[in-house]
Every structure is written in C-alpha cells, then in structure tokens.
Amino acid sequence: MSISDTPPPAPPGPPPAPTNQRSGCLTALMAIFGIILLLPGACALLFGGISISDRGRIDSDVAPLVFLGLAVGLGGVALIWAAIRGRRG
C-alpha cells in the first residue's frame, strides 16, 4: 500500500430543500379573481367621484358603499400582487 496525497472523498451533503411551487392554474385563477375584484373598486371610485363633483361631498347613504367597494378593490390588488409575486419561502 502506498500513501497518496489526495484526501479522502467528502461525505455527501444534505439533499436540497424541496421547492414548493404553485401550479400555473392556481396562479391564473388568482389573477382572474383579482381582476374581477377590481371592478367594484373602479365603480366605487366612479360613483364616489361623481358624488363629490356634484355636491362637493359624499352623501351619507353612498359613503359605506364607496368604502366597501374600495376595500374589495384593494383585495383584488392584493390577490393580483400575490399571484404575480408567487410563493416565497
């Protein structure tokens, strides 16, 4: 037996962590539902803008609907953002 200058082989490292990727179908559905949720937000902006331009303020019976529409629209924006961003982990 001879002594060699090469070190013994290193043991194999841990396997790579599995990547949790979302399916393309789920991403498309999230984007579609996000676009659908943008419609109430656009209507809220339209009706709120018309109400402000006519009387200078939003009527008390229209204000809750405008705010609800804006909240739904912001949910649509968040859903689209989550679909584009993907899962980070």
What pLDDT digit, counting tens, does each position of 41-87 carry? Answer: 999 999 888 888 887 887 788 889 999 999 999 999 999 999 988 76
SS3 assignment, position 62: coil
CA distances from 47 to 3, 10, 44, 52, 56 (A): 86, 69, 5, 9, 13
35: nearest Cα among 87, 2, 84, 88? 84
Q: What is the pLDDT of residue 50?
A: 87
HSE-up of 20 (CA within 13 Å, CB side)?
4
Report yes or no on whether pTM surpasses 0.75: no
Q: What is the pLDDT of residue 1?
A: 55
The answer to whether the CB of 79 falls within 8 A of the CB of 41 is no
Distance between CA 51 and CA 67 in Å, rounded? Answer: 13
